[in-house]
Amino acid sequence: MTVGETIARILLIVLAVYGCAQLIRRLCLWFARCPACAVCCRLAVPRHGAAMAPLVRCLQGQSVWDDPTGCWCTLLLLPDSPEETPEELERILREAPAVVPVTAARLMAMLEQLAEK
């Protein structure tokens, strides 16, 4: 057995163990899910208007990989003026059910509703 074969076998074993660990993780999350799960939110605030489309795509990917249960959503803080939202961003937001666009006024209303409950 050569050095290359040994390295390939070790790499294959490491990847197999990692895959099994991910499978066990997914199964544990699936079995431990609650039937009426609480929605947990995180808030994403883009620094620049041009950075919103890549940010939304990144948040979409994170929601798929980080939360197999579907209990998370991401609030994306948009500028208050609707004319600043480009058409491409609106299309991307329609494709992303886990990314919810909110304005500052709507976010404040949501927080006030939560405080009343």
Report whether 60 contacts 98 (CB < 8 A): yes
Specify whether 52 is located in the same domain as 74. yes
Specify whether 89 is located in the same domain as 53. yes
Specify whether 40 is located in the same domain as 76. yes
Cα 6 to Cα 111: distance, rounded to the nearest angstrom: 57
Specify whether 55 is located in the same domain as 12. no
Q: Name which residue leads in pLDDT, 16 or 103.
A: 16
Specify whether 53 is located in the same domain as 94. yes
Specify whether 83 is located in the same domain as 105. yes
Please give the pLDDT value at position 111: 81
Q: What percent of the chain has pLDDT over 90?
A: 19
Residue 2: give the domain boundaries: 1-32
Please give the pLDDT value at position 66: 65
Q: Name which residue leads in pLDDT, 71 or 54.
A: 54
Q: What phi and psi values does residue 65 have, to the nearest 5 degrees? A: -80, -35
Average pLDDT over residues 53-78: 72
pLDDT interval class at 82 (50, 70, 90)? low
Query: Using CB atoms within 10 A of its CB, is residue 53 exposed (0-12), middle (13-18) or buried (19+)?
Result: middle
